Amino acid sequence: MNRNGHTDRDYRKIAIVGTGKVGTAMGYLLKSAGYDIVAVAATSDTSVASAITYTGGKGYTDPSKAAAEGECIFITTTDDVVKPVCDTITRDGAIGPGKIVVHMSGAGGLDLLESARTSGAFVASIHPIQTFATIDSAIEVIPGTSFGITAQEEIRDWCFQIVKDLGGIPFLIAEEDKPLYHAAACIASNYLCTLMNIVVDIYQSIGLSREESIQAFWPLVLGTIKNIPIHGTAKALTGPIARGDTRTVEKHAAAFRQEMPDLLGFYTMMGLFTADLAVMKGTISLERAKDIKQLLIGGDDNE
């Protein structure tokens, strides 16, 4: 399929249904790249007005009317309503043969767009591996972001091109792999916040305030994060397990068992994975890793 598909359709005419942070930022960046944002739709007049400011598209609160304007429709709603929205705009006649319909859910597959595909449209999922705090920050960070693409073969080249036009880095994800793909992204971003909150809780338990805790450990976190893309996860690993320092690990486990027993299982689980990473780094032997794991598991058993 070439850029204009098998028809004379102009796939640069884009309608965006769902004008949250991602949808609005995508619209702004696509407009900047030369695409024509012909329509935007949201559930409130306020959201529509904001999206018009960024994208210049004609505003609607009726998603079907917006979708009817575009040759390519981006559904950028929350994951749970992608399918109902697609079903609605298809049933209302806004989707038909030759159009392209795209959702941006990380975990959702092309089945969310089955009604559009049945109607003859081409369907795809284009998901940015990124976190967005505001529309403006999304506009700033989308360029340089990797995008997982799941798409019908006929429009894969088109999907790759639109991601490149956004300044992103595209790669293919098989539909059956999407849940694990998205789970990994959640661990990297969402669980990082949870991990940092656990660190704050530990420091607060020994008398630091929340602000003092973050100030104390944040330079360490930043140093680690900077090292990972340069050296890789294994070489960036430091600390007692990487050194094979069983006495320190034993002290940690004893402290958790005594003071914060609810975190002992978490410390043990992370330590077991870290021992394997230390072997990968080459700083401890398999035998030393086995000793560390036995110490950790034994500590868990004594909880």
Are both 165 and 191 inside the same structural domain? no
Q: Read out DSSP for 10-32?
A: -TTEEEEE--SHHHHHHHHHHHH
Are both 168 and 186 inside the same structural domain? no
Asked, for residue 165, whether it belongs to a domain, the answer is: yes
- Helix or strand holding residue 204 (H, E): helix 178-205
Are both 147 and 279 inside the same structural domain? no
Q: What is the pLDDT of residue 72?
A: 97
For residues 286 and 136, what is the distance between their CA atoms, to the nearest angstrom?
Answer: 48
Are both 21 and 158 inside the same structural domain? yes
Within 8 A by CB and 6+ apart from 10, the residues are 4, 36, 71
Are both 153 and 19 inside the same structural domain? yes
Q: What is the pLDDT of residue 50?
A: 92
Are both 149 and 188 inside the same structural domain? no
Are both 90 and 129 inside the same structural domain? yes
Q: What is the pLDDT of residue 298?
A: 81
Are both 24 and 168 inside the same structural domain? yes
Six-digit token string for 243: 């050194």
Are both 185 and 169 inside the same structural domain? no
Question: Per the structure, how many domains does the chain have?
Answer: 2
Last residue of a domain, one of 157, 173, 189: 173
Asked, for residue 94, whether it belongs to a domain, the answer is: yes
Which whole-number Å values give the CA distances from 154 to 111, 122, 166, 220, 223, in the listed order?
Answer: 17, 8, 20, 47, 44
Strand, coil or helix: what is 141? Answer: helix
Asked, for residue 201, whether it belongs to a domain, the answer is: yes
For residues 20 and 267, what is the distance between their CA atoms, to the nearest angstrom?
Answer: 38
Asked, for residue 3, whether it belongs to a domain, the answer is: no
pLDDT average per 10 residues of sequence, the chain (303 residues)? 56 94 95 96 91 93 96 95 97 96 95 97 97 93 97 96 96 96 95 97 97 97 96 97 96 96 97 98 96 83 41
Are both 297 and 277 inside the same structural domain? yes
Asked, for residue 155, whether it belongs to a domain, the answer is: yes
Range of the domain at 279: 181-301
Taking the model in full, what pTM does it have? 0.87
Are both 49 and 163 inside the same structural domain? yes
CATH number at residue 46: 3.40.50.720
For residues 3 and 64, what is the distance between their CA atoms, to the nearest angstrom?
Answer: 25
Q: Which amino acid is at 125?
A: S
For residues 257 and 201, what is the distance between their CA atoms, to the nearest angstrom?
Answer: 15
Q: What is the pLDDT of residue 8?
A: 67
Q: What is the pLDDT of residue 303?
A: 39
Q: What are phi and psi of 39, to 5 degrees?
A: -160, 150
For residues 19 and 246, what is the distance between their CA atoms, to the nearest angstrom?
Answer: 53
Q: What is the pLDDT of residue 3?
A: 43
